[in-house]
Amino acid sequence: MQDHGGDLGTAIARFGGRAEDWTDLSTGINRLPYPLPPPPPEALRDLPRREASDACASAALAAYAAAPEAACLPLAGAQAAIRLLPALRRPGRAAILAPTYNEHAAAFAAAGWQVTELRDPAALRGFDAAVVVNPNNPDGRLLPPAALLALARLNGLLVVDESFADTAPAASICPALGRPGTLVLRSFGKFHGLAGLRLGFVLGAAAEVERLRDLAGPWPVSGPALAAGLAALPDRAWAEATRRRLEAGAARLDRLALAAGWRPAGGTPLFRLYDTGDARAAQERLARDRVWSRTFPWSPGWLRLGLPGPEPEWLALSQALR
Protein backbone atom coordinates (compact mmCIF):
# COMPACT_ATOMS: atom_id res chain seq x y z
CA MET A 1 0.00 0.00 0.00
CA GLN A 2 1.42 3.36 -1.04
CA ASP A 3 1.42 6.40 1.24
CA HIS A 4 -1.21 9.02 0.26
CA GLY A 5 -3.04 12.07 1.47
CA GLY A 6 -6.67 11.81 2.51
CA ASP A 7 -5.85 9.39 5.34
CA LEU A 8 -7.96 11.14 7.95
CA GLY A 9 -8.31 7.90 9.90
CA THR A 10 -4.57 8.08 10.60
CA ALA A 11 -4.96 11.64 11.90
CA ILE A 12 -7.81 10.64 14.20
CA ALA A 13 -5.90 7.62 15.50
CA ARG A 14 -2.86 9.76 16.33
CA PHE A 15 -4.47 12.96 17.55
CA GLY A 16 -8.07 12.14 18.47
CA GLY A 17 -11.33 13.84 17.63
CA ARG A 18 -14.07 12.88 15.19
CA ALA A 19 -14.03 13.22 11.42
CA GLU A 20 -16.36 16.22 11.59
CA ASP A 21 -13.88 18.01 13.89
CA TRP A 22 -11.14 18.00 11.25
CA THR A 23 -10.31 20.08 8.20
CA ASP A 24 -8.61 17.67 5.81
CA LEU A 25 -6.11 19.60 3.68
CA SER A 26 -3.91 16.58 3.00
CA THR A 27 -5.12 16.25 -0.61
CA GLY A 28 -5.35 18.57 -3.61
CA ILE A 29 -9.13 18.24 -3.88
CA ASN A 30 -11.25 21.36 -4.35
CA ARG A 31 -13.19 21.78 -1.11
CA LEU A 32 -15.99 23.80 -2.71
CA PRO A 33 -17.49 21.15 -5.00
CA TYR A 34 -19.53 21.55 -8.13
CA PRO A 35 -23.26 21.89 -7.26
CA LEU A 36 -24.47 18.66 -8.80
CA PRO A 37 -28.15 18.07 -9.51
CA PRO A 38 -29.58 14.77 -8.26
CA PRO A 39 -28.74 11.88 -10.61
CA PRO A 40 -31.56 10.64 -12.85
CA PRO A 41 -33.30 7.58 -11.34
CA GLU A 42 -32.09 5.29 -14.12
CA ALA A 43 -28.44 6.15 -13.29
CA LEU A 44 -28.98 4.49 -9.91
CA ARG A 45 -31.39 1.78 -10.98
CA ASP A 46 -29.83 0.41 -14.16
CA LEU A 47 -26.44 -0.88 -15.18
CA PRO A 48 -24.50 1.89 -16.96
CA ARG A 49 -25.11 1.81 -20.71
CA ARG A 50 -22.44 2.32 -23.35
CA GLU A 51 -24.39 5.38 -24.55
CA ALA A 52 -23.94 7.03 -21.14
CA SER A 53 -20.20 6.33 -21.18
CA ASP A 54 -19.87 7.71 -24.71
CA ALA A 55 -21.80 10.86 -23.82
CA CYS A 56 -19.58 11.48 -20.80
CA ALA A 57 -16.49 10.83 -22.95
CA SER A 58 -17.68 13.38 -25.52
CA ALA A 59 -18.19 15.95 -22.77
CA ALA A 60 -14.64 15.31 -21.54
CA LEU A 61 -13.15 15.62 -25.04
CA ALA A 62 -14.86 18.99 -25.45
CA ALA A 63 -13.97 20.24 -21.96
CA TYR A 64 -10.29 19.37 -22.43
CA ALA A 65 -10.18 20.79 -25.99
CA ALA A 66 -8.93 17.45 -27.33
CA ALA A 67 -7.95 17.01 -30.96
CA PRO A 68 -10.78 15.76 -33.23
CA GLU A 69 -9.02 12.44 -33.81
CA ALA A 70 -8.55 11.75 -30.07
CA ALA A 71 -10.65 9.15 -28.26
CA CYS A 72 -11.62 9.06 -24.58
CA LEU A 73 -12.47 6.37 -22.04
CA PRO A 74 -14.14 7.18 -18.70
CA LEU A 75 -12.81 5.14 -15.78
CA ALA A 76 -13.21 5.04 -12.01
CA GLY A 77 -10.75 7.85 -11.42
CA ALA A 78 -7.29 8.45 -12.86
CA GLN A 79 -6.07 5.81 -10.41
CA ALA A 80 -7.93 3.08 -12.31
CA ALA A 81 -6.19 4.18 -15.51
CA ILE A 82 -2.77 4.14 -13.82
CA ARG A 83 -3.21 0.46 -12.98
CA LEU A 84 -4.26 -0.45 -16.53
CA LEU A 85 -1.67 1.44 -18.57
CA PRO A 86 1.34 -0.89 -18.10
CA ALA A 87 -0.62 -3.68 -19.81
CA LEU A 88 -0.60 -1.77 -23.11
CA ARG A 89 2.96 -2.91 -23.82
CA ARG A 90 5.12 -5.89 -23.01
CA PRO A 91 7.18 -5.16 -19.88
CA GLY A 92 10.36 -3.25 -20.59
CA ARG A 93 12.13 -0.19 -19.19
CA ALA A 94 9.92 2.54 -17.75
CA ALA A 95 11.10 5.97 -16.65
CA ILE A 96 9.16 8.15 -14.18
CA LEU A 97 9.93 11.87 -13.83
CA ALA A 98 10.34 12.14 -10.06
CA PRO A 99 9.64 12.98 -7.31
CA THR A 100 5.97 12.57 -8.10
CA TYR A 101 2.77 10.65 -7.36
CA ASN A 102 4.04 7.27 -6.25
CA GLU A 103 1.35 5.07 -7.84
CA HIS A 104 2.84 5.37 -11.33
CA ALA A 105 6.07 3.62 -10.38
CA ALA A 106 4.16 1.08 -8.29
CA ALA A 107 1.84 0.18 -11.18
CA PHE A 108 4.64 -0.37 -13.69
CA ALA A 109 6.70 -2.36 -11.19
CA ALA A 110 3.73 -4.56 -10.30
CA ALA A 111 3.27 -5.33 -14.01
CA GLY A 112 6.88 -6.54 -14.32
CA TRP A 113 8.50 -3.42 -15.75
CA GLN A 114 11.99 -2.26 -14.78
CA VAL A 115 11.30 1.17 -13.28
CA THR A 116 13.78 4.06 -13.09
CA GLU A 117 12.94 7.35 -11.39
CA LEU A 118 14.72 10.36 -12.92
CA ARG A 119 14.78 14.07 -12.16
CA ASP A 120 15.90 15.40 -15.56
CA PRO A 121 13.20 15.43 -18.27
CA ALA A 122 15.87 15.04 -20.96
CA ALA A 123 16.93 11.73 -19.38
CA LEU A 124 13.51 10.18 -20.14
CA ARG A 125 14.43 9.67 -23.78
CA GLY A 126 14.82 6.19 -25.17
CA PHE A 127 12.81 4.24 -22.61
CA ASP A 128 10.05 1.83 -23.56
CA ALA A 129 7.65 3.94 -21.50
CA ALA A 130 7.90 7.32 -19.80
CA VAL A 131 5.54 8.97 -17.29
CA VAL A 132 5.30 12.70 -16.61
CA VAL A 133 2.84 14.22 -14.13
CA ASN A 134 2.10 17.70 -15.46
CA PRO A 135 1.55 19.83 -13.40
CA ASN A 136 3.51 17.69 -11.01
CA ASN A 137 2.40 16.52 -7.61
CA PRO A 138 3.69 17.69 -5.15
CA ASP A 139 5.93 20.54 -6.42
CA GLY A 140 3.83 21.85 -9.33
CA ARG A 141 6.67 21.44 -11.86
CA LEU A 142 5.24 22.24 -15.29
CA LEU A 143 6.72 21.17 -18.63
CA PRO A 144 5.55 23.06 -21.74
CA PRO A 145 3.49 21.10 -24.29
CA ALA A 146 6.25 21.41 -26.90
CA ALA A 147 8.73 19.61 -24.63
CA LEU A 148 6.26 16.80 -23.95
CA LEU A 149 5.38 16.36 -27.60
CA ALA A 150 9.08 16.18 -28.49
CA LEU A 151 9.51 13.51 -25.83
CA ALA A 152 6.56 11.59 -27.28
CA ARG A 153 8.46 11.15 -30.54
CA LEU A 154 11.38 9.51 -28.72
CA ASN A 155 9.60 6.94 -26.53
CA GLY A 156 7.50 3.86 -27.16
CA LEU A 157 4.77 4.95 -24.72
CA LEU A 158 4.39 8.37 -23.14
CA VAL A 159 1.88 8.84 -20.32
CA VAL A 160 1.14 12.41 -19.28
CA ASP A 161 -0.87 12.59 -16.06
CA GLU A 162 -2.80 15.87 -16.19
CA SER A 163 -4.83 15.26 -13.04
CA PHE A 164 -4.20 18.84 -11.89
CA ALA A 165 -4.25 20.50 -15.32
CA ASP A 166 -7.76 21.97 -15.00
CA THR A 167 -6.12 24.99 -13.37
CA ALA A 168 -3.55 25.26 -16.21
CA PRO A 169 -5.44 24.45 -19.43
CA ALA A 170 -2.77 26.02 -21.66
CA ALA A 171 -0.29 23.39 -20.44
CA SER A 172 -2.37 20.44 -21.66
CA ILE A 173 -1.32 18.35 -24.65
CA CYS A 174 -4.91 17.20 -25.25
CA PRO A 175 -5.24 19.50 -28.30
CA ALA A 176 -2.33 17.61 -29.95
CA LEU A 177 -3.45 14.05 -29.17
CA GLY A 178 -4.09 11.36 -31.74
CA ARG A 179 -0.64 9.89 -32.28
CA PRO A 180 -0.36 6.27 -31.11
CA GLY A 181 1.81 5.88 -28.04
CA THR A 182 0.78 9.10 -26.27
CA LEU A 183 -1.90 9.00 -23.58
CA VAL A 184 -3.23 11.64 -21.21
CA LEU A 185 -4.90 11.01 -17.85
CA ARG A 186 -7.42 13.48 -16.48
CA SER A 187 -9.10 13.56 -13.08
CA PHE A 188 -12.67 14.80 -12.72
CA GLY A 189 -12.92 14.65 -8.95
CA LYS A 190 -10.02 16.89 -7.95
CA PHE A 191 -11.00 20.10 -9.73
CA HIS A 192 -14.75 19.54 -9.36
CA GLY A 193 -14.41 18.61 -5.68
CA LEU A 194 -16.19 15.28 -6.16
CA ALA A 195 -13.43 12.72 -5.61
CA GLY A 196 -15.81 10.25 -3.99
CA LEU A 197 -17.59 9.73 -7.31
CA ARG A 198 -14.43 8.11 -8.73
CA LEU A 199 -14.41 9.47 -12.27
CA GLY A 200 -11.43 10.07 -14.54
CA PHE A 201 -10.49 9.78 -18.19
CA VAL A 202 -7.84 8.40 -20.52
CA LEU A 203 -7.43 10.28 -23.80
CA GLY A 204 -5.35 9.18 -26.77
CA ALA A 205 -5.38 7.33 -30.05
CA ALA A 206 -8.56 5.35 -30.71
CA ALA A 207 -6.91 1.91 -30.96
CA GLU A 208 -5.14 2.24 -27.59
CA VAL A 209 -8.21 3.65 -25.89
CA GLU A 210 -10.22 0.69 -27.17
CA ARG A 211 -7.56 -1.68 -25.85
CA LEU A 212 -7.91 -0.05 -22.42
CA ARG A 213 -11.69 -0.41 -22.68
CA ASP A 214 -11.22 -4.16 -23.16
CA LEU A 215 -8.84 -4.32 -20.19
CA ALA A 216 -11.25 -2.37 -17.97
CA GLY A 217 -14.11 -4.80 -18.56
CA PRO A 218 -17.83 -4.03 -18.41
CA TRP A 219 -19.23 -1.14 -16.37
CA PRO A 220 -15.94 0.43 -15.23
CA VAL A 221 -17.74 3.61 -14.08
CA SER A 222 -20.95 3.92 -12.07
CA GLY A 223 -24.07 5.46 -13.58
CA PRO A 224 -24.15 8.37 -11.09
CA ALA A 225 -20.51 9.21 -11.87
CA LEU A 226 -21.21 9.29 -15.62
CA ALA A 227 -24.25 11.50 -15.02
CA ALA A 228 -22.16 13.83 -12.87
CA GLY A 229 -19.51 14.20 -15.55
CA LEU A 230 -22.10 14.90 -18.20
CA ALA A 231 -23.68 17.58 -16.00
CA ALA A 232 -20.52 19.32 -14.83
CA LEU A 233 -17.98 19.17 -17.66
CA PRO A 234 -19.88 21.46 -20.08
CA ASP A 235 -20.23 24.18 -17.40
CA ARG A 236 -17.43 26.45 -18.60
CA ALA A 237 -18.60 29.44 -16.54
CA TRP A 238 -18.26 27.47 -13.30
CA ALA A 239 -14.84 26.19 -14.36
CA GLU A 240 -13.50 29.65 -15.14
CA ALA A 241 -14.88 31.14 -11.90
CA THR A 242 -13.35 28.25 -9.97
CA ARG A 243 -9.94 28.80 -11.56
CA ARG A 244 -10.02 32.45 -10.50
CA ARG A 245 -11.10 31.54 -6.96
CA LEU A 246 -8.40 28.91 -6.60
CA GLU A 247 -5.69 31.25 -7.87
CA ALA A 248 -6.73 33.86 -5.30
CA GLY A 249 -6.88 31.19 -2.61
CA ALA A 250 -3.38 29.94 -3.44
CA ALA A 251 -2.01 33.46 -2.98
CA ARG A 252 -3.87 33.77 0.32
CA LEU A 253 -2.48 30.46 1.55
CA ASP A 254 1.04 31.49 0.60
CA ARG A 255 0.68 34.66 2.68
CA LEU A 256 -0.42 32.65 5.73
CA ALA A 257 2.47 30.24 5.30
CA LEU A 258 5.03 33.01 4.92
CA ALA A 259 3.72 34.63 8.10
CA ALA A 260 4.25 31.28 9.85
CA GLY A 261 7.89 31.25 8.73
CA TRP A 262 7.52 28.67 5.95
CA ARG A 263 9.11 29.01 2.54
CA PRO A 264 7.03 28.31 -0.60
CA ALA A 265 8.47 25.34 -2.52
CA GLY A 266 5.95 25.03 -5.35
CA GLY A 267 2.45 23.80 -5.96
CA THR A 268 -0.60 24.51 -8.10
CA PRO A 269 -3.81 26.48 -7.43
CA LEU A 270 -5.24 23.28 -5.90
CA PHE A 271 -2.41 22.64 -3.42
CA ARG A 272 0.69 24.38 -2.10
CA LEU A 273 4.05 22.95 -1.06
CA TYR A 274 6.15 24.52 1.70
CA ASP A 275 9.60 23.97 3.15
CA THR A 276 8.88 24.10 6.87
CA GLY A 277 12.30 22.98 8.10
CA ASP A 278 10.68 20.14 10.06
CA ALA A 279 7.60 18.78 8.31
CA ARG A 280 6.65 16.31 11.03
CA ALA A 281 6.68 19.02 13.67
CA ALA A 282 4.67 21.34 11.40
CA GLN A 283 2.12 18.60 10.74
CA GLU A 284 1.73 17.95 14.47
CA ARG A 285 1.39 21.68 15.13
CA LEU A 286 -1.53 21.87 12.70
CA ALA A 287 -3.04 18.60 13.90
CA ARG A 288 -3.39 19.94 17.44
CA ASP A 289 -5.99 22.29 15.95
CA ARG A 290 -7.52 19.51 13.85
CA VAL A 291 -6.03 20.52 10.49
CA TRP A 292 -4.54 17.59 8.58
CA SER A 293 -1.70 18.01 6.08
CA ARG A 294 0.60 15.86 3.95
CA THR A 295 4.25 15.05 4.59
CA PHE A 296 6.63 12.99 2.46
CA PRO A 297 8.94 10.25 3.71
CA TRP A 298 11.70 11.32 1.31
CA SER A 299 11.74 14.98 2.40
CA PRO A 300 12.24 16.08 6.01
CA GLY A 301 11.06 19.63 5.34
CA TRP A 302 8.31 19.53 2.72
CA LEU A 303 4.68 19.83 3.79
CA ARG A 304 1.77 20.03 1.34
CA LEU A 305 -1.53 21.78 2.04
CA GLY A 306 -4.66 21.76 -0.05
CA LEU A 307 -6.67 24.96 -0.14
CA PRO A 308 -9.38 25.44 2.48
CA GLY A 309 -12.88 25.81 1.07
CA PRO A 310 -15.57 27.57 3.15
CA GLU A 311 -14.45 30.52 5.26
CA PRO A 312 -14.61 28.55 8.56
CA GLU A 313 -11.89 26.27 7.16
CA TRP A 314 -9.69 29.28 6.43
CA LEU A 315 -10.25 30.50 9.98
CA ALA A 316 -9.35 27.07 11.38
CA LEU A 317 -6.11 27.04 9.39
CA SER A 318 -5.23 30.61 10.40
CA GLN A 319 -5.75 29.71 14.06
CA ALA A 320 -3.63 26.56 13.69
CA LEU A 321 -0.79 28.52 12.09
CA ARG A 322 -0.83 31.10 14.87
Domain locations in the chain? 8-33+237-321, 41-234
pTM over 0.85: yes
pLDDT, mean of residues 240-254: 98
Q: Is the dihedral of CA 43, 48, 50, 55 positive or negative?
A: positive
- pLDDT-above-90 percentage for the chain: 94
| Rg of the chain, C-alpha, whole Å | 20
Instruction: Assign 7 a pLDDT band (cuts: 50, 70, 90).
Output: confident
- pLDDT at 104 (0 to 100): 98
Evaluate if residue 1 carries a pLDDT over 70: no
Mean of the per-residue pLDDT values for the chain? 96
CATH: 1.50.10.10, 3.40.1160.10, 3.40.109.10, 3.90.1150.10. Which one for 8-33+237-321? 3.90.1150.10
Q: In this prediction, what percent of the chain has a pLDDT beyond 70?
A: 99
For residue range 162-180, what is the model confidence (pLDDT) as tens digits? Answer: 999 999 999 999 999 999 9
Instruction: For residue 215, give the H/E element and its range.
Output: helix 206-216
User: pLDDT confidence of 4, banded at 50, 70, 90?
Assistant: confident
DSSP 8-state code for residue 169? G
Structurally, what CATH architecture does the domain formed by 41-234 represent? 3-Layer(aba) Sandwich (3.40)
Tell me: pLDDT of 5 over 80: no
Beta strands 299-306 and 294-296, pairing class: antiparallel
Q: Is the pLDDT of residue 3 over 70?
A: no
DSSP state letter for 38? P
What average pLDDT does the segment 86-99 reach? 97
